[in-house]
Amino acid sequence: MHTTLHARVTRLLIAAVLVFAPTAHAEQARQAATPIVGYDARFHPVLSKAGMVVSAESIASRVGAHILAVGGNAVDAAVATGFALAVTYPQAGNLGGGGFMLVHLAKEKRTVAIDYREVAPRAAQRDMFLDERGTVAEGRSQRTHLASGVPGTVAGLLLAHEKYGRLDRATVMRPAIDLAQHGFPVSFTLANTLASPWGKRLLTNPAAAHYLFRPDGTPWEPGEILRQRDLAWTLTQISDRGVAGFYEGPVADRIVAEMKRGHGLITYDDLAAYRAVEREPVRGTFHGYEIVSMPPPSSGGVHLVQMLNVLEGFPLRELQLNSAAYIHVLAETMKHAYADRSRHLGDPDFHQVPVAALTSPEYARTIRAAIDPQRATPSQQILPATEFPHESTETTHYSVVDADGNMVSNTYTLNFSFGSGIAVPGGGFFLNNEMDDFAVAPGVKNAFGLTGDEANAVAAGKRPLSSMTPTIVLRDGQPYLATGAPGGPRIITVVLQILLNTLVFDLNIADASAQSRVHHQWLPDELYLEPGISPDTTALLTAMGYTIGAAGPLFGNAQSLMLRDGVMYGASDTRRPGGGVTTVEDVQNASELRKKLLPR
């Protein structure tokens, strides 16, 4: 766990930092002296035997670990972490968005999938984002009130807690309420986001500017204390009244009032009708491990299993990690999966998704036979062009495991950073722009360069397609690994490569997360390589017929953990700063040290 000390942090927060620092340093020293899988790795995970939380924001990780330490299970901790991220990581953590959660119940040996994806309002129409000429109206599906689907996060988190949690709702939500009411030190990540051109666009929305900027309109500096009392009020409504505290009553009043002000579509009836849904996970096998992932309307699980099926027939270890031959096999497999995604995937309540066919070993053999071992296949030869909607990279994922072996893998989002950029006055939270994840005009790209077909066209009550891929791996029926990432269309390939790095190449979870990544999404017909892929390898791939795309941002920000032989190993991806792994032992040790260090 990384902790930043800043001069402006209050005396109490400085003491808390001092309490955590010795534990982290001792843990790092112990890890360096004890390789966990029999080799000298460059990167080492955080270890625990009592439970841990891995998230993109260290304060939220501490909240989840605290809940574990006071007797909560992995679901309690996951729900607490989700609400805490809505406070400390508002660019992606949220109340006004949606997502997907996998829960593995160790005692029951059962894994459930909770779909709390946003839905299109009842007044939504197929052509609502087209202008009078029938072309896509620039920005309408991204930066207006029409861009928001009915939020699902609150319903999803509370469904998980009600069915599978152990502690009462007030205990689980209290840390998030306190963080919003009393404030927290602004992270470098949040400060930099607010200071960026993308962050400064929030100043055009008075409620957003009020929540996240100083009164003079300047962004907060790292370490300054940000208080969000309107958000604390909303969280208190949810804590007191449950789902009704968000989808009915005064919070709903404020959402609907903002919709009316901006000519949006979400109504009281839309909010009252929203339901999170339990679905059967997508399952597959790979080298003796059971892969459990998210079903439609996420495309993640289907195509993760599909790609693993294809790759299981190649000698990946002999090809060697990130060699030209290895990347070639990955890229060709990815092309086929993303081509299938554009044609077949959508909301299963509206469209019959051929999950069994796409994830069958027979179909994998067909794809494998179509891969030329020497040359890149042009994407147009795989499937005629029809590109995907654009998906934002500003999602967030977290993973949790408790002492009983219960695991949670959760990914949720507002779509863009801060969603539509529209905040609810008096509510303290942002509204999503997930309507852009529909094929707003089938065959036309969305903001992330993805194209969709009729299966993902806009329709009232429909859930847009997603790439979110929360995943749990079982070994001999026991929980072994949980992972997921942000990254828009790259989420699926990030999760794929973490699984390959651990299950094929036997890397520890930190080393597996640190390896350079590659991505191909069929269209555009470009192969993307992270820094760290050698120039010689790049030259060989070019000679094979690949067009190397501009690298752009690093791929994903995975939050992963493993459980083997009674020891938990956690790793927060270093591609973005501010993430953290917090263990139950950290919390317990901090409590003891706090008694000694703080004045009485």
Residue 330 burial class via C-beta count within 10 angstroms: exposed 0-12, middle 13-18, buried 19 and up: buried
Q: Quick one: tokens of 367?
A: 């794809």
Catalytic residue, chosen from 234, 395, 413, 451, is: 395
Tell me if 166 sits within 8 A of 76, measured CB to CB. Answer: yes
From 476, 542, 78, select the one nearest 287 (Cα to Cα): 476
Dist. CA 461–CA 106, nearest whole Å: 34
Dist. CA 326–CA 304, nearest whole Å: 17
Going from the C-alpha of 147 to that of each of 208, 415, 550, the distances in angstroms are: 16, 10, 29
Q: Is 526 strand, coil or helix?
A: coil
The question of whether 395 is a catalytic residue gets the answer yes
**DSSP symbols for 142-196:** TSSGGGPPBP-HHHHHHHHHHHH--S-HHHHHHHHHHHHHH-EEPPHHHHHHHHS
From 511, 480, 488, 486, select the one nearest 498 (Cα to Cα): 511
Tell me if 371 sits within 8 A of 307, measured CB to CB. Answer: no
Neighbours of 15 (CB within 10 A): 16
Going from the C-alpha of 64 to that of each of 36, 182, 213, 459, the distances in angstroms are: 25, 18, 27, 37
Question: What count of residues does the chain have?
Answer: 600
List, by residue number, the catalytic residues: 395
